[in-house]
Amino acid sequence: MNKHLKNINFRCGLVLTAVVVLAAAVSFFWTPYDANRMDPGHRLEAPSFYHLLGTDQYGRDILSRVMVGAVNSIFVGLATVVIGMVAGVVLGLIAAYIGKWADESIMRLSDLLFGFPAVLTAILISAIWGPSISNVMVAIGIFYIPVFTRLTRAVALGIWGREFIEAARASGASEWAITFRHVLPNLLSPLIIQATIQFAVAVLAEAGLSYLGLGTQPPHASWGRMLYEAQTFMEISPWMCIFPGLAIAWTVLGFNLLGDGIRDNLDPYML
Amino acid sequence: MSQQPILDVQDIVKYFPVAGGLWSKPKAWIKAVDGISFQVYKGESFGLVGESGCGKTTLGRTILRLIEPTSGSIKLNGREITRLNQREMRALRRDVQMIFQDPQASLDPRMKVASIVTEPLRAFQKTGRQQLRDRALNLLEKVGLKADALDKYPHAFSGGERQRIGIARALCLNPSLIVADEPVSALDMSIQAQVLNLLGDLKTSFDFSSLIISHDLSVINHMCDRIAVMYLGVIVEMAPSNMFGRIQRHPYTAALVSAVPTPDPHKKQSPITLEGEIPSPVNPPPGCLFHTRCTYCFEHCRVERPTLVEIQAGHTVACWLNNGRGL
């Protein structure tokens, strides 16, 4: 068996995320029903053979909407983590390497950004560019930059001080080579952990912002939006909120396990 | 031994600032290396010995400009290196490599052995994957490690094996000078001997000169052609190793030599015990740096610092006792 698959976390995480990714991929070509088609004759129906996960207050099929919502969540999670991680790692490395004024200005700037609530950033961006899912991604992504900057700086400072860096320098390796061959690989573990946490947080944040009406606009489906619409009907048709909630939990768990597994697989001590 | 120095160090000084407040000037200076001169000749092993805190590690790193010297001159193969910029200095590293004290810390835990030992090669020329592996294999064989080590990570090896990896890395580019900073002090006794013998063998086959730094006089004596004794940032005595066991003219050297254990249990040992601690390099004593602990100290020692004076061919001592002025 492939050595990566031996890791139980990795295996479980892979299966869980594969299901979500697959559901999202399939939704581009096929969903049981049109996710946005209303059917007043079948409102608030409990799960049945025709509607596996039931229907909502407009008679829309919940399974179809959960599948379409998966696309949304995956995109938000990936895009925000990529924005935050790329910018954050670059800034953090610069701060740690140059130090002095660069460190001071980058860290104070990220304090400033960190002190600004994400929701406020999202509202600000929505106010400028209008509410949409891509603006939500940008807002959450910007909010993630200081998270990754701080982590990168803190860990990189420690790595730059270690003796194998000095050994590499004595070997004649350039500062770029040291950064890419020694510093980044040693940064990987904490970054992956942080990325999986932030991915999960992004899925929840998108849900929260859609709930506030800043993210996904009706009638489009997103897990957060579905939860928001479901809360009025929680007592008479609980399946409306159970399934999108379950989808969120499933995805978050899947990515966390996957992240743990990747980290373990990259750790030379675990092999 | 030809008389062309590979390494020529003149009056090298390294002071570290003791930080004052945030914007104020440094409060004081730690005089880690305070004016040291010596030469390492082609094919020679030069040993630098001294107790912890005497500045020998700082000196080793300053010579490679891993630490910038405060002043002084370092010539490598006749070329002044203290004023080279980073780029020029990097090019020069092809010719001088280092072996570190702690093989645990000096090997990247996330790099496979094959990449570690070929790092110097990759730093200087683009080399194909297969060539790199061949080179790595060749080096591992030279230091006595098996081929299956190539794809392992450093943690899979014992201390002695890790140090062999570190040695293989230093040999990668066939340097003309290797600086070994306490190459065996992190290893236990039986392994020390193995690694030292390996270093000795490699020195013959790879034909490099070496600067070996250690606190262990027996290691230095075993490995080196010439020995310099350091105390508080200066060299107090320098002599060929074959003269070393018999005559020491500096009281500090005498104390060091007498403290080396002998393997004969019946032989009564009477090590010279030095009183007190090594003084702080922030505030070194006036006059001879050793006078606070020296049993032979007299008036003049407290006033003026002695310089290295040649008392025999190749044997220099910095002590007033030997300058014809004291005794």
Which residues of chain A fall short of a pLDDT of 50? none
Closest residue in B to A177 (Cα–Cα): B123
pLDDT at B270: 72
Is A264 part of a structural domain of the chain? yes
Q: Name the residue in chain A with its Cα closest to that of B156.
A: A269
Is residue B327 included in any domain, yes or no? no
Residue A205 in any domain: the answer is: yes
**Domain count for chain A:** 1
pLDDT-derived band of residue B327, with 50, 70 and 90 as boundaries?
Answer: very low
Residue B305: the pLDDT is: 86
Cα of B153 to nearest chain A Cα, Å: 6
Read off the pLDDT band of B246 (50, 70, 90): low
Flag whether pLDDT at B1 surpasses 70: no
pLDDT value at residue A150: 94
Q: What tokens appear for A269 in the block?
A: 């001590």
Span of B60-64, B241-245, B297-301 with lowest mean pLDDT: B241-245
Query: Which residue, among A165, A2, A192, has the nearest Cα to A89 in the 3D structure?
Result: A192
Q: Tokens 């794809």 correspond to what residue?
A: B151
Whether residue A26 lies inside any domain: the answer is no
Q: How much is the pLDDT for A186? A: 92
Q: Is residue B224 over pLDDT 80?
A: yes
Q: Which residues of B216-253 are buried (b: 16+ CB within 10 A; e: fewer)?
A: ebebbbbbbbbbbbbbbbbbbbbbebeebeeebbbbbb
* β-bridge mates for residue B118, sequence order: none
Q: How far does the CA of residue A188 sit from the closest CA of chain B (Å)?
A: 10
Average pLDDT, chain B: 86
Stated as kind and residue range, the H or E segment containing B146 is none
Cβ-based neighbours of A221, under 8 Å, separated by 6 or more: A35, A36, A64, A65, A66, A68, A69, A72
**Are B105 and A171 within 8 A, CB to CB?**
no
Q: Is the pLDDT of residue B293 over 90?
A: no
Domain range for A77 is: 9-19+54-270
What residues have CB less than 8 Å from A57, skipping those under 6 apart?
A: A43, A44, A229, A232, A233, A237, A240
CATH code: domain of residue A145: 1.10.3720.10
Average pLDDT over residues B118-131: 89
Where in the sequence is the domain holding B110, given as residue range(s)? 5-261+271-322
| Residues 176-205, chain A, touching B (beta carbon < 8 A) | 177, 181-182, 185-186, 188
Q: How far apart are CA A114 and CA B14, in angstroms?
A: 42
DSSP for A193-235, please give it. Answer: HHHHHHHHHHHHHHHHHHHTTSSSPTTS--HHHHHHHHGGGTT
Coil, strand or helix: which one is B35? Answer: strand
Q: What is the CATH number of the domain that holds B160?
A: 3.40.50.300
CA distance B246 to B199: 25
pLDDT tens, position by position, B134-181: 999 999 999 999 999 999 999 999 989 999 999 999 999 999 999 999
Domain count, chain B: 1
Size of interface A-B (CB pairs under 8 A): 74
Per-residue confidence (pLDDT) for residue B248, from 0 to 100: 66
pLDDT at B324 over 60: no
Instruction: For residue range A140-157, list pLDDT tens digits in order.
Output: 898 899 999 999 999 999
The pLDDT tens digits for B71-117 are 999 998 888 988 888 888 888 898 999 999 888 899 999 999 999 99
CB of A164 within 8 Å of any CB in chain B?
yes
Closest-CA residue of B relative to A162 is B105
A268 touches chain B (CB under 8 A): yes
Of B123, B153, B155, the CB nearest to A177: B123
Q: A155, A171, A180: which to substitute to probe chain B, counting the most B Cβ within 10 Å? A: A171
Q: What does the block give as tokens for B299? A: 């008036």
Distance CA A65, CA B56 (A): 71
For B180-198, what is each residue's pLDDT tens digit? 999 888 888 888 989 999 9
Does B303 touch chain A if contact means CB atoms closer than 8 Å?
no
Residue B53 lies in a domain: yes
* pLDDT attached to residue B27: 76
Q: Which of residues 248-267 of A touch B (CB under 8 A)?
A: 266
Q: Is the pLDDT of residue B325 over 50?
A: no
pLDDT: is B320 or A165 the higher one?
Answer: A165
pLDDT digits (tens, 9 = 90+) for B6-26: 999 999 999 988 876 666 677
Phi-psi region of B248 (alpha: psi -120 to 50; beta: other; left: phi over 0): beta
Residues 20-79 of B with CB under 8 A from A: 61, 64, 66
- In a domain? residue A139: yes
Chain A residue numbers with beta carbons less than 8 Å from the beta carbon of B115 are 181
DSSP code at position A174: -
Mean pLDDT: which of B20-34, B133-147, B275-289 is highest?
B133-147
> Which chain A residues are closer than 8 Å to B105 by Cβ?
162-164
* ipTM for the assembly: 0.85
- Residue A212 included in any domain: yes
Contact B169 A167 (CB under 8 A): yes
In this complex, is the C-beta atom of B120 within 8 Å of any C-beta atom belonging to chain A? yes
Residues B32, B211 contacting (CB under 8 angstroms): no
Residue B266 belongs to a domain: no
